[in-house]
Structure 1
Amino acid sequence: MKLFLHSCFLTLIFFVPVLSQNTYNVVDFGAIDDGRSDASEAFSRAWAHACDDRFAAKIYVPPGRFLLHNANFEGYCTSPSIEFWIEGTLIASSTYDDSNYWIFFYKVDNLSISGGTIDARGHTLWDCKSKNNDCPFGPVSLVISNGYNISINNLASKNSKFFHIMINNSEKVSIRNATITAPEDSPNTDGIHTMDSNDLLITNSSIMTGDDCISISRGTTNLSIQNINCGPGHGISIGSLADVVNEKPVENISVSNIIFTGTSNGLRIKTFARPSNSYVSNVKFHQITMKDVNNPIIIDQNYCPGHEECPHENSGVKITNVQYVDIKGTSTNIEAVHFDCSLSNPCEQILLKNVKC
């Protein structure tokens, strides 16, 4: 602190220290940007230094193509915040195994992932699945698990082997300006999948996949989805629910300003026809545009993909307080709205207002 005396005035000037941010360039740890050399160890070393930093830290991925095998980034970190800044492209091996994930952030708080592209190169696994061979599900491209205060911004995800992005058991997560792409016939390539997580935002993104643009699974609460272009794909789905009897509910979901183009479904809630203590409550779909959607609005409590080994019971999932407001567009199916609710636990408080499909 410095003191300046000017006649009768005493001026106090405080110099507030600015917290520094240390940057860790993966190239400095041995990563080669040729798309052929395995950069996994270099990324791990960069993460270890950033995680152990006592100041805010940045991991920098410069332009180029960096081959990563299964990459596991774990907390608990000393650094108060970590920025994962990608200007290049992360590519996975074109082969596949029975791994559950490709890029995995576990127990990391105050993390931002920005820019760049991740390309999982899923074509080989898709081909295996198309031939009905004994194929694994494949790894999720990017998993956020047990995290708090996570932001994903301006990320492009291509050609996932399984889901593109999964948010699991996390809180306060935002995804903004994402571009997610996979061919229309690529199996199980959900764009964003949420489960057991609270306080989520997905906004201003384009999702074109072979499965759900966004799938909302058990235990998802306080989720806002805004300004999404979806299609091709299977639409936005809550479910499938009733995998097990004791399953966490889905509640407080807001879906607004969505454009569906050529999707097989628009707004869907799906549950298996078996006992469950779960429920779906307080859901609002509003300001939605459908363009040549096969099933614009659907509740299916007898869901059974492939119609094989169907439970043929009554779904125990209670669906209540669901609003469909200001929905317009075109349907390729003569039946634009279909509600198939549980016989033993029927839907309640379903509102349709200004729906024109």
Structure 2
Amino acid sequence: MLDIKTEFTTNPKNKPAVEALGFGQYFTDHMFIVEYTEGKGWHDARIIPYQPIQIDPSAMVFHYGQAVFEGLKAYKTVDGKVLLFRPDRNFARLNNSNERMVIPAIDEAFALEALKQLVTIDREWVPDAPGTSLYIRPFIIGTEANLGVHPSKSYKFIIIMSPSGSYYKEGINPVKIMVEQKYVRAVAGGTGEAKTAGNYASALKGQEIATAEGYSQTLWLDGKEKKYVEEVGSMNIFFKINGKVVTPALNGSILPGITRDSMIQVLKSKNIPVEERRITIDEVVEANKNGTLEEVFGTGTAAVISPVGELKYLDEKIIINDGKIGEVSQMLYDTLTGIQNGTIEDTFGWTIKL
């Protein structure tokens, strides 16, 4: 395992007020970085003051999009401890993305140790107000200075951190989602199940359209038939239909969300029926018409859980549960955030205490 050198900042930043946090706008005093060079492997691991990075204009990430990232959080407990939530799963998923994008694998145990050291150094940046957390962004970019189309021969693996509030301005209040009809996000065999930068760039047009119509996010349908529900731009999606929770099965074009997996495990532990399968948008519309569509919610690291109060499909507006948060959505939110902030016992073994 590599040694990690540490350089402490001599100019610490002022921490933002809790009410000003938002999402991803402020960054902590330090960052982690390690280099990769073909033939040498990963080397020169270090924690340094947060600062710009310098890479060549011809770095391959700018031209061919060789970039992957993760998102996870650290939480402050009521007794002042700091908890990480399932970070091992994030680094395992990062390596899955690496495989798809032809990026060298990282040592997951080393990455976790680096993260622990970084969060420990900047632990005073972990906010303790309800609904807040320290958002953590690990990412890898191809840095070789070369315009030839091939996998980069050099990379940077960086971790930056940002104290954050709610991802959506609505917080835990239901959001409005628009079903995208023209554009597609991903197809099976593509990069949809990898957390790569290009997936999010291709989703921006749908987001722009949704925002212009007053909706928070886009719900994407499958890229082949535009028939099956896949995921929201920043979340996996769940539907409670006639007492059963249904979520689209992982099919190669859907990101395997860690919060998604956590919610499924919580549902099963509460003996609430949950099913992973293909679900058409027409089935959702029909369930609304016959009165069996009881709840809709999204799950993701940034938002944790986000109830959906309205779906727009074609020219039809579907109002879910009178636009209010549902019983199951509230239970899942309370359970997961309780585990994350230490007020509920972690019987799943998901948290790591620093």
Q: How would you bin the TM-score normalised by the shorter chain?
A: under 0.3
More helix by share: 2
TM-score normalised by length of structure 1: 0.26
* Greater relative contact order (Cα < 8 A, sep 6+): 2
Larger radius of gyration: 1
